[in-house]
Amino acid sequence: MSLLLKGGLVVTQDASRRIVRGNVLVEGNRIAAVGDTPTEADEVIDCEGCAVLPGLINGHQHAANALLRGIADDVPLEEMLERSFAVDAKFTRRDVQLGALLGCVEMLRCGTTSFQDLFYWEDEVARAVRESGIRGFLSWVTLDEAFTTQHGNPVRNAEAFVIKHKADPLVTTSVGVQGVYVASEETCLAAKEVADRHGVRLHAHLSETRKEVYDHVAKTGLRPGEWLEKIGFLGPNLNVAHGVWLTLNEVRALARAGASVTHCPVSNMKLASGGVAPVPEMRDAGVAVALGTDSALSNNSADLFGEMKTAALLHKATRWDARVLPAQTVLDMVTIEAARALGAAADLGSVEAGKLADLAVISLRRPHTTPFYSSNVISHLVYSNRGSDVQATIVDGRVVMADGKMRTVDEAAVLERAQESARELLGA
């Protein structure tokens, strides 16, 4: 099966960051050629007036929480967690699968082709991944048994999940850690041992709030990043979300270990976590930094175009420097840099022959993107475009959304089922 994306502005995100006016030829699930290509294929998508770019990568999500959208707005983190835990305790496997499916549909409509998830019952999230056709980097969350609602031991649950889904082409399994506030040294190291033994990655929350940091200092005498380095948890297979309250010493520790970070600016701002993650310092130290939306509980949206604009403006405003985090850097953070952060740069993050065909086609023929040309397309993608401008989304060589219509699932049925499930959960 072949696919031709014809006549667009191809934002390659290759090492030279070339923008090529031409075609992208897909054969099977890989990109076969970029630029001058044959003009015929089994399916042709007209990309005139559009940018063709690598599918966006959402570095931190809890996709199943799409069912909880809007239940805890305009409240601080602690109150948001109380409200979410009360509903979360009622979650069934069906709710997790349905919420994750809703989240996957939302992401695909916004040009996101991969996401990294942190949740329990990730086997149900994996079902949603397969059904929707998105690519999932799924981390089963671990924490001390004293704090969990999971049945059985969370570390053993995570290992069973990793083993069960190792051969799935759309699912990359990993082990998650909720955070130092509910995961002891024993749990952190047990999670790392499982990940190392199975050759998979780790994903964890880190230093999201000042309270988390100060409580840990009071308990251990060390900041969370310092403590994780001391116990031997940090490593090149680790990606941490948030990193709002990291010191420069902790940033250097992450860099020494080869760990990466996912920056979630909208979630952190909405929850008034205070402070701004030291993203420029992370990048200067050599830490790969991705962007993530976090869940619908603390963001309400999974649109990475909005996340890019927010990230750029937040750092410019707080640094009093318009040159900080330019558009090209921010686009990197949802494409090639995100792929590096997830250990997937050999296959994802750029439009190059041989890479997996995860692609997004986004219209530039909108009032808010006119005029457009090669020299301003990167700025448009970050500052002007919206997820609703996405015309087609391709994952693993398969067109999963085109011309405003999902091809993999009955979207209307998904929305109806999600609304019904939310009513049952909330008693609304």
What are the pLDDT digits (tens) for 291-332?
A: 999 999 999 999 999 999 999 999 999 999 999 999 999 999
Q: Which run of H or E residues covers position 330?
A: helix 327-332
Q: Coil, helix or strand for 424?
A: helix
What are the pLDDT digits (tens) for 132-189?
A: 999 999 999 999 999 988 889 999 999 999 999 988 999 999 999 999 999 999 999 9
2-54+350-406 and 56-341 share one CATH topology?
A: no
pLDDT band for position 23 (cuts 50, 70, 90):
very high
What are the pLDDT digits (tens) for 229-288?
A: 999 999 999 999 999 999 999 999 999 999 999 999 999 999 998 899 999 999 999 999
Q: State how far the Cα of 122 lies from the Cα of 102, in Å rounded to an integer.
A: 15
Tell me how crowded residue 219 is: count the other CB atoms within 10 A of its CB: 11
Determine how β-strand 135-142 pairs with β-strand 171-177.
parallel
> Under CATH, which number does the domain 2-54+350-406 receive?
2.30.40.10
In the predicted structure, residue 428 carries a pLDDT above the cut 70: no
What are the pLDDT digits (tens) for 25-64?
A: 999 999 999 998 888 999 999 999 999 999 999 999 999 9
pLDDT of residue 86: 84
Determine how β-strand 30-35 pairs with β-strand 19-27.
antiparallel
Domain 56-341 fold = TIM Barrel (3.20.20)
DSSP 239-253: EEEE-TT--HHHHHH
Q: Please report, for the chain, the start and end positions of each structural domain, with discontinuous segments joined by +.
A: 2-54+350-406, 56-341
- Of 255, 338, 330, nearest to 290 by C-alpha is 338
pTM: 0.98
Please name the amino acid found at residue 323. R
Q: Sign (positive/negative) of CA torsion 356, 358, 363, 368?
A: negative
Q: Sign (positive/negative) of CA torsion 95, 97, 99, 102?
A: negative
Q: State how far the Cα of 71 lies from the Cα of 131, in Å rounded to an integer.
A: 27
Q: State how far the Cα of 295 lies from the Cα of 71, in Å rounded to an integer.
A: 12
What are the pLDDT digits (tens) for 330-346?
A: 999 999 999 999 999 99
Length of the chain, please? 428
Say if CB 328 and CB 283 are below 8 A apart: no
How buried is 423 (Cβ within 10 angstroms: 0-12 exposed, 13-18 middle, 19+ buried)?
Answer: exposed
**Ramachandran angles phi, psi of 139, nearest 5°:** -115, 115
Sequence-distant (≥ 6) Cβ neighbours of residue 393 within 8 angstroms: 55, 108, 109, 111, 112, 113, 359, 360, 361, 399, 400, 401, 402
In the predicted structure, residue 83 carries a pLDDT above the cut 90: no
